[in-house]
Amino acid sequence: MRQVTFKDIHKVGHIVHETQQLKHIHYPEMLSRYNSNFIEYKTWVAVEEFQQDLQYLREFHMKNDQKHVKFYFPADEEIPDQIKDVLTKYQFEIEKLELYTLEPNRFPPVEDHPDISVHQVTEENLEDFLSLQYQQDIPFGTNFAEQKIALYKSFFEDPIIVQLLAYYKGIPAGSVHLILSDATVEIDDFSVKADYQRKGIGTRLQKYVMEHFSDKTIILVAEGSDTPREMYQKQNYQCVGFRYEATKVYKSVKTPALTLF
């Protein structure tokens, strides 16, 4: 099996600027999606360059009425102290992301559950799937939830993405997106409604993946502070890498650009 890295993780967005040090990803179709509007560093830069990149991204986002800035840093390396000091000064939220892989034959045996069924999303159950997503996203605002529906519809039309929907006693209760490549299947947007958690729905969704894509390596990214990562470890997923992300959300789009120098 070849080494899986964060380069294998699917990204939604367009490259608007790229250098030897970084990529700037922008997604005008959904400006509020932090994971589609960011700067990703290929290598570390000096703190002065990072400050300039921070100023640049903030001003770019302000022109597009975006309230956030987000950075991904080089994989498998700790954040240099000087850059960490800048992030702390401007009250960024720093998160450690962990990359996991699993060969399907190592997933623990799981029995079928009479109340749980898992199905690939088709025209017949697409409305059930979209309704579930809307319920999950509406706490973040109507505009955000409606934009996510448009995104999910585009995923439905994408040949490399498979959407799964889990029912509990006939009620839509859990879902996941699968991003397919020649060698891997990436598990993304894995969610179970709060009222239906701890009933085995997430496990059955994964069982479906293991059975239907047994010839591929399963990959996913988990936040280092999240409880699900403990579940993945118990299910024999192996952590093969990490990287840090840093995000800051401003109270207003009209907040002045940063004064860094």
The per-residue pLDDT for range 227-260, each reduced to its tens digit, is 677 888 889 999 999 999 999 999 876 655 555 4
Where are the domains positioned within the chain?
A: 6-98+243-249, 108-235
At residue 59, φ and ψ (nearest 5 deg) are -70, -40
Q: What is the pLDDT of residue 206?
A: 96
Same fold, 6-98+243-249 and 108-235: yes
Taking the whole predicted model, whether its pTM rises above 0.75 is answered as yes
Nearest of 103, 99, 101 to residue 215 by alpha carbon: 103
Between the CA atoms of 17, 20, 22 and 27, what dihedral angle is there, to the nearest 10 degrees? 30
Spatial distance between the Cα atoms of 36 and 10, rounded to a whole number of angstroms: 10
Q: How far is CA 201 from CA 73, 110, 117, 161, in A?
A: 33, 11, 9, 21
Spans of the chain, pLDDT less than 50 = 260-261
DSSP 133-180: HHHHHGGG-HHHHHHHHHHHHHHHH-TTEEEEEEEETTEEEEEEEEEE
Between the CA atoms of 45, 49, 51 and 56, what dihedral angle is there, to the nearest 10 degrees? -110
Q: What is the pLDDT of residue 261?
A: 41
Q: What is the pLDDT of residue 45?
A: 97
Residues 129 and 165 sit within 8 Å (Cβ to Cβ)? yes
Spatial distance between the Cα atoms of 155 and 133, rounded to a whole number of angstroms: 13
Residues 244 and 70 sit within 8 Å (Cβ to Cβ)? no
For residue 162, the SS3 value is strand
Q: Which CATH architecture has domain 108-235?
A: 3-Layer(aba) Sandwich (3.40)
How many other CB atoms are found less than 10 A from the CB of residue 111? 9
**Amino acid identity, position 175:** S
Contacts of 73 (CB under 8 A, 6+ apart): 41, 44, 79, 243, 244, 245, 246
The conformation of residue 112, written as its DSSP 8-state character, comes to: -
Q: What is the pLDDT of residue 254?
A: 65
Superfamily of domain 6-98+243-249: Gcn5-related N-acetyltransferase (GNAT) (3.40.630.30)
